[in-house]
Amino acid sequence: MSVPPIPSEGSAAASEGLNPRAPEGQRKGLGAEGSVYIEHDHHELSFIKKYIFSVDHKMIGLQFMFTGLVMLGLGGALAMAIRWQLAWPWTEVPVIGELLFPATGGAMSPEFYTMLFTMHGTIMIFFVIIPMLTGAFGNFLIPLMIGAPDMAFPRLNMIGYWAMVPGLFFAIASFFVEGGAAAAGWTAYPPLSTIKSAAPGSMSGQTYWLLALTFSGISSMAGAVNYATTVVKMRAPGMTLMRMPLTIWSLFIAALLQLFALPVLTAVSIEQILDRVAGTGFFTPTNLVVNQLNAEGAGEAAGGQPLLWQHLFWFYSHPAVYIMVVPAMGMASDILSVHARKPIFGYKPMAYSMMAIAGLGFIVWGHHMFASGMNPALGMTFMVSTIMIALPSAIKVFNWLGTLWGARIKLTSAMLNAIAFVALFIIGGLSGIWMAATPVDIYIHDTYIIVAHFHYVVFGGTMFAIWAGIYHWFPKMFGRIMNERLGQIHFVGSFIFANCTFYMMHQIGLAGLMRRTADPYAYEVYAHLQPLNEFISISAFCLFFWQGFFVFNFFWSIFKGQRVGRNPWKATTLEWDAPSPPGHGNFDRELKVYHGPYEYASPLVDEDYLQQTRSVN
C-alpha cells in the first residue's frame, strides 16, 4: 500500500484561514503552488443539505447517476414493448397489456407504438446517456482527477441537477395528457410534430416533450459552463493540459460541444413551441392540409420550411452524438490503461483525435438529410466531412489496440466492459461508413441498418463504457468494491445478448425494412423476417432481465461490498490519492503533479505504477 502519509504541515498552514472563493484582489498569502486553503471542520449537514440540495460535486454526480439508472430502467422497458410489437404485432402484451389496452384485449395500438419509440429515444438520449456521462461521471470525476476541491461554481452545479428534474417531470407526465406522449420520433420533424391534427401525440404531448428538452438543455448548459471553467482554472499544480487523463480531455471536449451546439437546439425548440402554441409558421409551409384541416385557415402563419428544423436540429443533435460517445472513449481509455498495466498508446494522438472528432462534428450534420430533399451539392460536402470523421475514430481504435499490445491485462469486470467497448465500437464505427457514402445511403437511410449502427455506438459503445466506469470508480464513490463474480456474470450475458440483439438488425435493414414501423409484416416481402425479429426480441428480453445481476450487485455492494483503501486498482491518477469515498473538499493533503497520467510499468520505480503525485528523485 503506497498511500503517502498525510503531511502534517497541512493543518499548520490551514490556520491562516483564507476563503478560496474570495475575489482575486483579496487573495493574500497564496501557497507556494498557488493554492488557497481554509480551515475546515466536518460538521454534520442536515439530511436535506447532504443528499437532496447538495452542492458537493460527488453527491450531485451520484444524484445524476441514480436518476440515470432509474430512467435507464424506464427507457429499457419501453424498448421491451417495442420489441414485443415487432416480433408479435397486435398480440396481447404480456403482464401490462390488459392494464394498458383494455379496449383491444391487451394489444397495443399503432398510435401507442409511435409514442413508444419516440419516448424510448428521448429518454435514453436526454435522460440516461447524457446525464450519466456528463452529469454523473463528469461531476464525480472532473474535480477528483484534476485535484480540485469541488466544481468552480458548486451552487450552479446543484441548479444543474435540479433543472433536469422539471424535464423529467414533463417527459413522464406527457404519457398522461390527452393524446398521449409525443409521437413524432425523437427527431420531432415538423409538420408532424407541429400540426396538432397530424398525430395524437402532437396534441399536447409534443409541447411537454419540447419543455422536457428545454429543461434538460438548461441542466446540460449549467454543467458545461462549470466543467469547462473547472478544467481550465482549477487544476492542481503540475497538472498541465497534456498531463490530464483522457477522461478529463473527453469531458472537457464534450462540455465545449454542449456550450456551442446546445443553444441552437434551445432556439429551435422555442420556435417549435411557438409554432404549436402561438401559431407562428417557422416550419409550416404554405397550403398545408393535414387531416382535411388547412393550417392557414386554422389561424396559423405559413411560409416556413420543414427542412429548416432538420438543419438546426441536427446542428445540435449531431454534435450530441459525440457528446454521447466522446466521454465514453475517454473513460474506456483510462480503464484500459489501468487494468492493462501499461501506458496508453499514443496519448497525444488520442487527445487530438477527440478534438478532431469534436471539431468535424460541427460540419457533418447534413448527413442525416441526404434523402431529405436538401440540395444534393450540399450532400456532397457533408459526405466528405462525414467520411473523414471516421479517421480520428480509426486512430483511436488502433491506439487502444496498441495499448493492449505487450500489456499485463487484469480481466476485472471494469476491464471486460472496456474491452467490449472497443470490440463493439469498431462495429458501430465501421457500419457508419455506409451511411456517410451518399449513394449507398439512398438505400440504407431510415432502414434498420441505421438502428443497428447507432445502437452499436450508443449501447455497444457508450453503455459498456458506462458499466466499465461504474465498476472502475465504484470504490471511489462508495468506499467499497463491487462483487467480481457477479460482475463477470453480468458482463458475459450482456455481451452475448447485446450482440444477438443488435447485430441481426443489420440483416433486417439490408433486406430493406424501414425503421419506426409498427408492423413489419404489413408488407408481404418482409414476412420472412419474422423469425429473425423474434430472435432479436428474445435476445433483447434476455438482455433486459440480465441487468438484474447488475442492479443486485450495485445495491448489494453499496452496503455489503468489500471495503477498500484509497487505491484498490493501483492506478496513477489523482482521484486515487483521495480517501474512498473522499470527504468534503476531496483531498486531505496538498497535491503536486509530477508525471503524466499513464505511468504504468515505469522503469523508474519498482512497482508497476507511478502515481502522478509521486516524485522520483
Partner 1 sequence: MRLLVTLLLFLVPVLGVWTFWTAEENGWWMPETVTTYGPDIDYLFYLILWMVAFFFILTEGLLVWFVFKYSKKDDTKGVYSHGNHKLELLWTVVPGILLLVIAFSQMETWADIKYRGNLPKTPPIAHVWASQFDWRVQYPGADGEFGTWDDVESPHLFVVPSDEDVVFILHSRDVLHSFFVPAFRLKQDAVPGMAIPVWFNVDKAIDEEGAEDKEAIRLYDLICTELCGWGHYKMAGRVEVRSREKFDEWMAEQEANVMSNGKEDQS
Partner 2 sequence: MSEAIQDYDPAVDAPAHHHPIYDYDSGPPVDRGKFAIWLFLGTEVMFFTGLIGTYIVLRMGAASWPNPEDRLAVDLTALNTFILITSSWFMVMALQAIQGGDQGAMKKWLLATIFGGSVFLGVQVYEYFVLFQAGALPNVDIFWSTFYAMTGFHGFHVFVGIVWLICAYFEAVKGEYTKENYLRLELAGLYWHFVDLVWVLLFTIVYLM
Contact positions with partner 1 (CB under 8 A) in 153-192: 183-185, 189, 191-192
Q: Which of 516/563 has CB closer to partner 1?
A: 516
Site for partner 2 in 470-499 (CB under 8 A): 479, 481, 484
Q: Shortest gap between Cβ of 455 and partner 1 (angstroms)? A: 15
Element (H, E) at 271: helix 246-277
Which listed residue (446, 551, 555, 616) binds partner 1 by CB under 8 A? 446
The site for partner 2, by CB under 8 A, has a size of 97
Residues paired with residue 293 on neighbouring β-strands, in sequence order: 290
Which range of residues in 15-23, 125-133, 260-268, 434-442 is near partner 1 by CB under 8 A? 434-442
Rounded Cα–Cα distance for residues 612 and 587 (Å):
14
Q: Which of 98/608 has CB closer to partner 2?
A: 608
| Distances 502 to 97, 225, 490, 495, 549 between C-alpha atoms, Å | 25, 36, 18, 11, 21
Rounded Cα–Cα distance for residues 224 and 227 (Å):
5
Rounded Cα–Cα distance for residues 383 and 366 (Å):
8
- CA 48 to mean position of chain CA atoms: 28
Q: Which of 279/439 has CB closer to partner 2?
A: 279
Residue 216 · residue 127 · CB < 8 Å: yes
| Distances 451 to 311, 417, 448, 506, 524 between C-alpha atoms, Å | 21, 22, 5, 8, 22
Q: Which of 214/399 has CB closer to partner 2?
A: 214
Site for partner 2 in 514-573 (CB under 8 A): 562-570
Q: Please compute, for residue 416, the number of CA atoms within 13 A of its CA located in the half-sphere on the CB side.
A: 17
Which range of residues in 35-43, 211-219, 269-277, 339-347 is near partner 1 by CB under 8 A? 339-347
Which range of residues in 176-184, 236-244, 369-377, 519-527 is near partner 2 by CB under 8 A? 236-244
Element (H, E) at 253: helix 246-277
Q: Which of 21/410 has CB closer to partner 1?
A: 410
- Note whether 2 binds partner 1 by CB under 8 A: no
- Note whether 149 binds partner 2 by CB under 8 A: yes
Q: Which of 104/266 has CB closer to partner 2?
A: 266
- Note whether 242 binds partner 1 by CB under 8 A: no
- Note whether 48 binds partner 1 by CB under 8 A: no
* Partner interacting with residue 24 (select from partner 2, partner 1, none; CB below 5-8 Å by kind): partner 2
Which range of residues in 8-16, 54-62, 142-150, 595-603 is near partner 1 by CB under 8 A? 595-603
Which listed residue (232, 401, 551, 616) binds partner 1 by CB under 8 A? 401
Rounded Cα–Cα distance for residues 253 and 229 (Å):
12
Q: Which of 26/99 has CB closer to partner 2?
A: 26
Give me 462's grid cell: 457508450
Site for partner 2 in 45-74 (CB under 8 A): none
* Partner interacting with residue 499 (select from partner 1, partner 2, none; CB below 5-8 Å by kind): partner 1
Query: What number of other Cβ atoms are within 10 A of residue 94's Cβ?
Result: 12
* Partner interacting with residue 260 (select from partner 2, partner 1, none; CB below 5-8 Å by kind): partner 2
Q: Shortest gap between Cβ of 6 and partner 2 (angstroms)? A: 7
Rounded Cα–Cα distance for residues 266 and 272 (Å):
10
* Partner interacting with residue 229 (select from partner 2, partner 1, none; CB below 5-8 Å by kind): partner 2
Residue 179 · residue 511 · CB < 8 Å: no
Which listed residue (101, 153, 162, 352) binds partner 2 by CB under 8 A? 153
- Note whether 550 binds partner 1 by CB under 8 A: no
Helical ranges in 88-191 per DSSP H: 97-100, 110-122, 130, 139-146, 154-173
SS3 594: coil
Of residues 565, 561, 564, 572, the one with CA closest to residue 597? 572
| Distances 607 to 243, 301, 336, 414, 611 between C-alpha atoms, Å | 20, 71, 18, 22, 10
SS3 447: strand
* Partner interacting with residue 288 (select from partner 2, partner 1, none; CB below 5-8 Å by kind): partner 1
Site for partner 2 in 209-228 (CB under 8 A): 221, 224-226, 228
* Partner interacting with residue 120 (select from partner 2, partner 1, none; CB below 5-8 Å by kind): none
Site for partner 2 in 431-460 (CB under 8 A): none
Q: Which of 235/445 has CB closer to partner 2?
A: 235
- Note whether 463 binds partner 1 by CB under 8 A: no
Q: Which of 94/583 has CB closer to partner 2?
A: 583
> What do you get for the CA distance between the two ends of the chain, in Å?
20
Which listed residue (58, 196, 235, 445) binds partner 2 by CB under 8 A? 235
Of residues 224, 118, 110, 109, the one with CA closest to residue 171? 118
Element (H, E) at 392: helix 390-404
394: phi then psi, degrees, rounded to nearest 5: -65, -45
Q: Shortest gap between Cβ of 127 and partner 1 (angstroms)? A: 21
- Note whether 236 binds partner 2 by CB under 8 A: yes
Q: Shortest gap between Cβ of 472 and partner 1 (angstroms)? A: 17
Q: Shortest gap between Cβ of 232 and partner 2 (angstroms)? A: 6
Which listed residue (6, 95, 242, 522) binds partner 1 by CB under 8 A? 522
- Note whether 267 binds partner 2 by CB under 8 A: yes
Return the amino acid letter for 193.
Answer: S
- CA 495 to mean position of chain CA atoms: 19
Rounded Cα–Cα distance for residues 307 and 389 (Å):
24
Q: Shortest gap between Cβ of 276 and partner 1 (angstroms)? A: 14
* Partner interacting with residue 291 (select from partner 2, partner 1, none; CB below 5-8 Å by kind): partner 1
Rounded Cα–Cα distance for residues 436 and 443 (Å):
12
Residue 393 · residue 443 · CB < 8 Å: no
SS3 101: coil
- Note whether 594 binds partner 1 by CB under 8 A: no
Query: What number of other Cβ atoms are within 10 A of residue 527's Cβ?
Result: 10
Residue 447 · residue 512 · CB < 8 Å: yes
- Note whether 363 binds partner 2 by CB under 8 A: no
Site for partner 2 in 397-416 (CB under 8 A): 410, 412
- Note whether 100 binds partner 1 by CB under 8 A: no
- Note whether 289 binds partner 2 by CB under 8 A: no
Q: How many residues does the chain have?
A: 617
